[in-house]
Amino acid sequence: MLISFFEEFPSDESFEKLKLIDFPTKLYIAAISIKEFTEIKNKIKNKNVKQVIYWPILPIREGYYFSPWVRTRILERFFKNINNEPIMLDFELPRNRKLILTQSFSFFKNRYLIRKFIKEYKNEKYSAEYLPEKGFISNQMKFFGLSYSPIVYGNKIIKMFYRSLHYINNERFKEELHYGRILYKDNFLVGLGCIDTGINKTEKILKPKQLEEDLKICKNLKVTEVVIYRLNGLNQDYLRKIKNINQ
């Protein structure tokens, strides 16, 4: 099972954590532009980092995450300038909630533009998404342009099982993983966390023992890749648990 890492706030400090990694991994790096991403990517020299994925983010006033409530011109400019890099789009409600109201008239056009882009994009494409994968809420997420089926769009889906933030018992966790694996096979990836704070700076931190349990469940259910949020939180305690799983 490949164990990868998100890094939402790349810095010299966060990349120091790469010195701890002596196993194959991938990084999903947030950047405001393809230029910034390329500069960051070129600084990463660790031989164990097998791939670096572009995670585009927007200014907070423009929503930060991707969704049909982003201004049309912002979406069009992004789609035009993307340089055929492997890409991960983080689909969540905009952090600037006013956009849900002000951009509602553009919702269907923007949803169409996003769907078209994902379907036609030729390189590797990943979508980071809310839970769950099935039921009424899942259908709502698809309608609102926050969920994209690999069967339809050819993407890989990363479902965010952040058990430090949300109560998800083991039974439901296993059920969701089992369903996702049946439906999407190796295109179903799992996000775990959080081992460091995120944009809110108040996120609860996952205990090392819980990370080990989550990883063990993922491995037993034959998940091919997990992505841990985020690299900057990696320490010897987490590292020992990761190595216990991947022995």
Average pLDDT of the chain is 96
pLDDT of residue 55: 98
* 194 neighbors 206 (Cβ within 8 angstroms): yes
* CATH code of the domain made up of 2-245: 3.20.20.80
Q: What is the pLDDT of residues 51-87, one digit of tens each?
A: 999 999 999 999 999 999 999 999 999 999 888 899 9
SS3 of residue 130 by DSSP:
coil
User: 188: which 2 tokens?
Assistant: 């179903």
pLDDT of residue 74: 97
User: Longest Cα pair distance anywhere in the chain, in angstroms?
Assistant: 53
Residue 128 pLDDT more than 80?
Answer: yes
Counting beta carbons within 10 angstroms of the beta carbon of residue 196, is it exposed (0 to 12), middle (13 to 18) or buried (19 or more)?
buried
The confidence band for 133, taking pLDDT boundaries of 50, 70 and 90, is low
227 bridge partner residues: 4, 191
Predicted TM-score (pTM) of the model is 0.97
Residue 95: how many other CB atoms lie within 10 Å: 17
